[in-house]
Amino acid sequence: MTELDLAPTLAAEQSARPLWEPEHDELRTTARRFVAEQLAPHVEQWEAALDFPREVFEQVGAAGWFGLKHGPQWGGSGPDLRAQAVWVDALARCGSGGLAADLGAHSDLAMLYLDRFGTDEQKARWLEPSLRGALLGALAITEPGTGSDVAAVSTRARRDGDDWVLDGAKAYCTNGAWSDWVVVAARTDPDDPHGGLTLFVVEADDAGLTRRRMSMLGWRLSHTGELAFDALRLPDDRRLGDVGGAFLAIMRNFAWERICMSIGAVAAAEVGLDMAIGWARQREAFGRPIATFQTWRHRFAVLATRIAAGRAITEQALRLHIAAEEDGDDIDPREVLRVTAMAKLLTQRLAFDVADDCVQVHGGAGYMMEYPAQRLWRDARLGPIGGGTEDIMREIIGKASGW
């Protein structure tokens, strides 16, 4: 049998394996309690102020939530991607997409690059304090004119003696407006679209860096930033990984980013459905609760079914990713890519649809800023865009399926 012939068999074997161990179930209870007690009670106040304290990162770091997928030599308790998935699920239930985005981008975007591609010296400099929440990281790939087409990145890094000089701009960078360090993808070979990209670490006080916080429809607590690099000089020890290795690194890390987005979307959909049902049970029309009308019971039934499907395919993507990354199983990378894209495609629109119905069942109250349904709706809208659009996911699924 060929490798391609074996892929469905290996994938089926992964499906039959239990995903969660007893310790993960215990961790889930602890993680959700932490979010419910330490983060969620402050969300309304922070959302009204359009800001939250940086000390939250230290609070989360001190509790160990940033260290679940990193080794003990850097202060972590892992690596355990299952445990990290438990935390991602819990964090998505905090009530604010922007808060979850900033904490998640620090952990599952920026630090992931350092852990996988950094030297020991780089990890000691940035990763270890970031696990404690003492430093804050970000990832900058997207540009004002370049999103899903990573090969079109135009920010330039040119050699100048032993240094590199960066020129260009980045946009929609979560944490970019207030991070202490940021992983930047820059073009080091203008003639090679894929092999001509390299990663660098830029620090907040580097001369030549300017940035501003962007104002967004949703994620209003997120310090998403626009960055500009003007003859920003970096020594070679700020290079992360091999020269020309950024494209493959980004493609590899996209898989985990999309799984995290899928986990978060399923959790947000569950929160939204609970919110909608809770409102429908206590809101009356024509002399009885809205929840007793068949039209809403059937809509809730469809949403619950879609959530179950979203959870199932997301957990399958997680199984395959763990098998390839942690267990060393010979899983066809095309199958991991395909199932991960399916999970993201399904769950992001699901989360928005649930939020939309949650607004609808609230009636006029759903359109008022004083009710959380509107924030659920605004925060969910980014899902079908960020981390690869719906159209890109469809293209990935088609190509990985050989169509």
Read off the pLDDT of each residue in 259-281 and give the average, rounded to a whole number.
98
Q: What are the tokens at 143?
A: 């540009």
Task: Give the model's pLDDT for residue 30.
Answer: 98
Is 257 assigned a catalytic role?
yes
Tell me the C-alpha distance between 382 and 219, whole Å.
9
Task: Give the model's pLDDT for residue 9.
Answer: 54
What is the domain partition of the chain in residue ranges? Answer: 3-136, 140-240, 246-400
Tell me the C-alpha distance between 223 and 170, whole Å.
14
Residues 6+ positions from 77 with CB-CB distance below 8 Å:
64, 67, 68, 70, 83
Give the tens place of pLDDT for each residue, 132-183: 999 999 999 999 988 888 999 999 999 999 999 999 999 999 999 999 999 9
Task: Give the model's pLDDT for residue 284.
Answer: 94
Task: Give the model's pLDDT for residue 97.
Answer: 98
Read off the pLDDT of each residue in 300-319 and give the average, rounded to a whole number.
98
Read off the pLDDT of each residue in 18-29 and give the average, rounded to a whole number.
95
Catalytically annotated residue among 47, 226, 257, 270:
257
Yes or no: domain 140-240 corresponds to CATH 3.40.50.300: no
Give the tens place of pLDDT for each residue, 314-347: 999 999 999 998 877 788 999 999 999 999 999 9
Residue 3 pLDDT > 70, yes or no?
A: no
Give the tens place of pLDDT for each residue, 230-249: 999 999 999 999 999 999 99
Give the tens place of pLDDT for each residue, 78-119: 999 999 999 999 999 999 999 999 999 999 999 999 999 999
Output the average pLDDT for the chain.
Answer: 95
CATH fold, domain 246-400, is Butyryl-CoA Dehydrogenase, subunit A; domain 3 (1.20.140)
Read off the pLDDT of each residue in 179-194 and give the average, rounded to a whole number.
96
Give the tens place of pLDDT for each residue, 64-86: 999 999 999 999 999 999 999 99
Read off the pLDDT of each residue in 360-377 and give the average, rounded to a whole number.
97
Yes or no: domain 3-136 corresponds to CATH 2.40.160.50: no
* pLDDT over 70 percentage in the chain: 96
Task: Give the model's pLDDT for residue 329.
Answer: 75
Task: Give the model's pLDDT for residue 331.
Answer: 87
Tell me the C-alpha distance between 253 and 240, whole Å.
14
